[in-house]
Amino acid sequence: MTASFLQVITPAEDLLLAPLAAIRAAAGLAANDTSRDAELTELGKRVSAEITEACRIAVGETEEGEGAEPTLRQETLRETFCGSGRDVLILARRHNVKIVSVTEDGRPVTLDARALRSEPGLLYRWIDGHQSFWTAREIVVEYDAGFETVPFSLAGVVVDLVRLRLSQASIDPLVKSTRIEIVDVETVQTDRWVGSTPGADTTGLPPEFMARLGRFFNPVT
């Protein structure tokens, strides 16, 4: 078993997973209407964080040793693997992976282009046309991973979730039913759901949204 430690070297500048103009449109505003930008930016960040958590994106640490906010946006990362005897290293982050450097026990390693499978984040030890096992005690991989430009499919989930959150803003999602009886005195009875909100799985996102996020799930936690 190979353990790893993830550091964020260059964090993403923007954690939003959809353009602000698209989020404005979801709120029924013109693309250039900035009147609710503060509110919509915070909502967009919250929805982006919910999606990131649902996709199980690995949490790294800053160089100061503090927890860094996980994201599907592009970041530069340093991952240290402790252990040996593996034919492949499964990187903690994936999508558009580009290797910056690799060292084995402090010695730099130059890998062939075929060593990396960028989308799933798999790194094989291909050197000089030959594949072998990772046998060093410590392997340090510095790499870029994540989206510089967010795919339309991912941004679409964000926009639709923002629209859903806005529509729910004036509705209590825990209300199961309401009965109003007016005879001599008005009577209002409200029944509430106990437990999670109906239509949502354990992540808090409705199943149809989880299905659309399938490509972005991270097998590493």
Q: Which residues contact 66 (CB under 8 A, 6 or more apart)?
A: none
How far from the centroid of its chain's Cα atoms is residue 218's Cα? 8
Structural domain includes residue 212: no
pLDDT tens by residue, 138-170? 999 999 999 999 999 999 999 999 999 998 864
Residue 70 lies in a domain: yes
Average pLDDT over residues 30-43: 94
pLDDT band at 125 (very low <50, low <70, confident <90, very high): very high
52 in a structural domain: yes
What mean pLDDT is reported for the chain? 86
Within a domain: residue 157? no
Contact indicator for 72, 86 with CB cutoff of 8 Å: no
The torsion defined by the Cα of 24, 27, 30 and 31, in degrees rounded to 10, comes to 20
Task: Confirm whether 138 is domain-assigned.
Answer: yes
Q: 14: domain range?
A: 3-145
Domain assignment of residue 126, yes or no: yes
- Mind listing the pLDDT tens digit for each residue in 52-98? 999 999 999 998 888 899 999 999 999 999 876 789 999 999 999 99
Q: Is the pTM of this model over 0.85?
A: no
The total domain count for the chain is: 1
Q: If you search the block for the tokens 């510089």, which residue do you land on?
A: 148
Q: What are phi and psi of 68, to 5 degrees?
A: -105, 145
